[in-house]
Structure 1
Amino acid sequence: MADPAAATPIAPPEIAREVIDPKAYAGWDHLLDTFDWLREQMPVARIVPEPAELHPPFWLVTRYDDVMRISKDNATFLNNPRTVVFSTTDGIEFAKAFSGGSEHMVASLVTFDAPIHMKYRKLTQEWFMPKNLRGIEDEVRSIARAAVDRLLAAGPQVDFCKEVAAPYPLHVVMQILGVPEEDEQRMLMLTQQMFGGQDEDLNQSGMKDLPPEVITQIIAGAVKDFEAYFAKLTAEKRAHPTGDVASTIANAEVDGEPLNDRDMMGYYIIVAAAGHDTTSASTAGAMLALAQDPEQWARVKADRSLLSGIVEEAIRWTSPVQHFMRTAAEDTEVGGQRIAKGDWLMINYVAANHDPAQFSDPRKFDAARSPNRHLAFGAGAHQCLGLHLARLEMRILFEELLDRVDAVELAGEARRSSSTFVGGLKTLPLRVTPA
């Protein structure tokens, strides 16, 4: 009888290193080449670490159909108990020590499974639906106009990431949370430490080539700072509740009981952090594509009906959330490969959103792409809570830009962040011509 292990598709060592290397995600084009090879040769590949103690082995899933299926099957593929974001063995052990036993540094919507997940999601789900968001459109437009003011005042040559893509969505989400404007720079620093911890330009540590254990400690420090800040905000929102999301979280109950401190802080953090960096990345991605294609800028300037396509394509093309991890609840099969109960899987959204079986010429930015059923927001029960807000923010910002900017062109090299989890452009030098 043949040994089933003999048929296991084990990724070559250089590929196993690349798919967990933050710098590979900064390189992008070579990484996309690697994902193309994997989809063809071993779409469900076993990633075995060298040395063995570096990280637990896992399955890397790169085909769109397989990633979609896993994303929707929340009974077979769990977010708990193993971490939902790739981590080294040292990082996992640090998280367990930090949290009191959990592999999750933060307990939040992205770490919960049914039935608790939906109970927590429902607390704020209505707030983020289009009907409610229409009530904040004027406020978002005011923030967008201020962002364009800042861009034009800094021009004609500017870093779009620094002037607009980073501060604009941060300001929007902080207003939604009820965080005072004077505290936004602190929130920006903390989100960059959490999601930019692998990038020497974003982690604000002053050190390059940080070892994984130092990166983990930076993230842990940011989590503690977040918790201290939002503990104070919770007290204020309980004493004087308002109509913002923070008041909803502070005064929420699940099964008749207030949220415990860990879950409440996790809720604040996921709204504050996930609602900022991801939209920042897709906004910068859209501007890069338009700067590279002056004709497309001119077309959408003349015909705003094209704008929704640009927004959606930018989200696919950028794929700000680059992966999540899942754990098999039972023996199963993915893409013809047997998966054992307890196995760890990486569903890679960058790979899935560049699958030519789903997207024709996937590396091309195509604002007319239809259909565009990308996976940048996930799918199923864990689909991004803030997807309607992200689309609203991008649409309004680009309406304001198109009204007030005649042309944009690259004024230097656009550079991506070094990050395996949330990634996108960290610099986008542009030359801006006012209208």
Structure 2
Amino acid sequence: MNSETLKSVEPVVPEDIARIVVSGKSYAHDDVIYPAFKWLRGNMPLGKAYLDEYDPIWLVTKYDDVMEISRDADTYKNGIHNVLLQTRESDEFTRKMMNGKIRSLNSLAFMDAHEHKTYRDITAKWFMPNLIKRYEQRIREIAKESVDEFFALGGECDFVKDFALYYPLRVIMDLIGIPREDEAIMLKLTQELFAGEDPDERREGVDLGPDAVARAWHATMMEFYDYFRGLSAERQKNPKDDLISLIANHRVDGERIDEAHEFDYYIAVATAGHDTTSTAASGGVLGLIQYPEQFDLLKSDIGLVDKFVTESIRWTTPIKHFMRTASRDVELRGQLIHKNDRLMLCYPSANRDPDRFTDPDAFVIDRRPNQHLAFGNGLHMCLGQHLARLDMRILFQELIPRLNSIELTGTPKFIEATFTSGLKTMPVRYTGG
């Protein structure tokens, strides 16, 4: 069957809707991206997008479908193709830089089966709740310090740039073993890695073009490598109780991990370990501002903080997508998915599916049930989810009792990015101390 015949029997997503979903700019505007997702859920919950710059992709927008794919790692693979959506030109650049491979990062999200288990096992126990809990006092010290700094700003600030970006960054740097004085370089490289599409955040010196995102990603990765090379060598000589020491000295079949896998592990933990948490934290505060009755509810009962954290993560959904590739012909929602077809798991859409969440666009801190998919599910459930929840719980246990009021003094702005996106700026005025 030729491609035109195939397209005629497939649910083909209208081009205007498809372009919204694959454009980083859309994720900076809730009034653009969420109506597109709503249209897809209602009219074409599993539709195929054909755009000249991209491989054909299935847009998966319903909660149950995203869950089914996530739980079936044998059928829907991460390692066959790029787990991130890129243009064909960016994928080709990645292959050129990676000796023919399409993998742009040797992290767990890009791995399948035995390889995934081998590398997940290195840190899996370290990230378990009972072991993470041993760092609670240290995290609380960082939270208290950060909240003190927040109130020292004088009642007005940019909640994102002056506060939310730094607390989770300091936590993850402390646990990984990165010196506090390198805070600025870690933040800069994280933003450049994840926000290559955003004109305010993208890496300088990278010419714009159809492969610009991949070129910026590669350049940032090489700078990360240069940074971690020295720390790794030092920890091999003088191990400490931190993640760099754990990974740098780990053996697989009696051999040290190769440099690419080792350094990419650091990069994945160091970047995702704070970027997504700051997104959820700042987004949760925006939710409290836009829904002041929820602020009053949390103020009256700080015991609701865990539910507030869960709702903040659902409502913001920091990671917007991951790709999967079908390893065989399979039926999904009555539609034949062919072997090697690519599927885009649209997490923000799944997390606002009205068949799963009542009044899904509202911010409701005591929402029940609230089994969101922001951390994924199945084999690729986020390794750091327990740390992220602990980070946020402690932060708001320290912040909310001291915060009497908070309001916007300008229009919040969001990062333009299809992979991870959240608030870029949020000017606020607040009282408390």
Alignment TM-score > 0.5, same fold: yes
> The TM-score by the shorter chain falls in which range?
over 0.9
Q: For the residues of structure 2 that align with 1:107 and 1:273, how far apart are their CA atoms?
A: 14
Q: Kindly state the Cα deviation for residue 372 of structure 1 after the two structures are TM-superposed.
A: 0.6
Q: For the residues of structure 2 that align with 1:400 and 1:210, how far apart are their CA atoms?
A: 43
CA contact (8 A) 1:198 1:210 kept: no
User: What amino acid is aligned across from residue 80 of structure 1 in structure 2?
Assistant: G
User: What amino acid is aligned across from residue 89 of structure 1 in structure 2?
Assistant: R
Bigger shift: 146-155 or 109-118? 146-155
Q: Kindly state the Cα deviation for residue 19 of structure 1 after the two structures are TM-superposed.
A: 0.8
**SS of residue in 2 equivalent to 1:30:** helix
Bigger shift: 239-248 or 301-310? 301-310
Q: For the residues of structure 1 that align with 2:170 and 2:209, how far apart are their CA atoms?
A: 32
Q: Residue 276 of structure 1 aligns with which residue? A: 274
Task: Give yes or no for the alignment of 1:286 onto 2:284.
Answer: yes
Q: Residue 381 of structure 1 aligns with which residue? A: 379
CA contact (8 A) 1:322 1:349 kept: yes
CA contact (8 A) 1:292 1:410 kept: no
Q: For the residues of structure 2 that align with 1:361 and 1:255, how far apart are their CA atoms?
A: 51
Give per-residue Cα distances to partners, 1:234-261, cap 9 Å, x unaligned.
Answer: 1011100111011111011223322111
Q: For the residues of structure 1 that align with 2:233 and 2:193, how far apart are their CA atoms?
A: 24
User: What amino acid is aligned across from residue 54 of structure 2 in structure 1?
Assistant: H
**SS of residue in 2 equivalent to 1:154:** coil
CA contact (8 A) 2:294 2:364 kept: no
Aligned counterparts, 1:132-143, within 5 A: 132-143=131-142
Q: For the residues of structure 1 that align with 2:200 and 2:281, how far apart are their CA atoms?
A: 19
Bigger shift: 338-347 or 148-157? 148-157
Task: Indicate the RMSD between aligned Cα atoms, in angstroms.
Answer: 1.5
Bigger shift: 408-417 or 310-319? 408-417
CA contact (8 A) 2:291 2:363 kept: no
Q: For the residues of structure 2 that align with 1:238 and 1:215, how far apart are their CA atoms?
A: 34
Task: Give yes or no for the alignment of 1:336 onto 2:361.
Answer: no
**SS of residue in 2 equivalent to 1:326:** strand
Q: Kindly state the Cα deviation for residue 294 of structure 1 after the two structures are TM-superposed.
A: 2.9
Q: For the residues of structure 2 that align with 1:416 and 1:4, how far apart are their CA atoms?
A: 38
CA contact (8 A) 1:76 1:328 kept: yes
User: What amino acid is aligned across from residue 356 of structure 1 in structure 2?
Assistant: P
Q: Residue 104 of structure 2 aligns with which residue? A: 105
User: What amino acid is aligned across from residue 390 of structure 2 in structure 1?
Assistant: L
Q: Residue 250 of structure 1 aligns with which residue? A: 248
Unaligned runs of 5+ in 2: none
CA contact (8 A) 1:147 1:163 kept: no
CA contact (8 A) 2:90 2:212 kept: no
Q: Residue 174 of structure 1 aligns with which residue? A: 173
TM-score, normalised via structure 1 length: 0.96
User: What amino acid is aligned across from residue 123 of structure 2 in structure 1?
Assistant: T
User: What amino acid is aligned across from residue 300 of structure 1 in structure 2?
Assistant: L
Identity %: 44
Q: Kindly state the Cα deviation for residue 6 of structure 1 after the two structures are TM-superposed.
A: 2.3
Q: For the residues of structure 1 that align with 2:203 and 2:290, how far apart are their CA atoms?
A: 30
User: What amino acid is aligned across from residue 225 of structure 1 in structure 2?
Assistant: E
Give per-residue Cα distances to partners, 1:80-125, cap 9 Å, x unaligned.
Answer: 1200000011110111111111112211111110011011111101
Q: Residue 161 of structure 1 aligns with which residue? A: 160
Q: Residue 296 of structure 1 aligns with which residue? A: 294
Task: Give yes or no for the alignment of 1:202 onto 2:201.
Answer: yes
TM-score, normalised via structure 2 length: 0.96
**SS of residue in 1 equivalent to 2:407:** strand
Unaligned runs of 5+ in 1: none
Q: Kindly state the Cα deviation for residue 334 of structure 1 after the two structures are TM-superposed.
A: 1.4
Q: Kindly state the Cα deviation for residue 206 of structure 1 after the two structures are TM-superposed.
A: 8.1
Q: Residue 9 of structure 1 aligns with which residue? A: 11
CA contact (8 A) 1:171 1:181 kept: yes
**SS of residue in 1 equivalent to 2:124:** helix
Aligned counterparts, 1:30-429, within 5 A: 30-49=32-51, 52=52, 54-205=53-204, 210-429=208-427
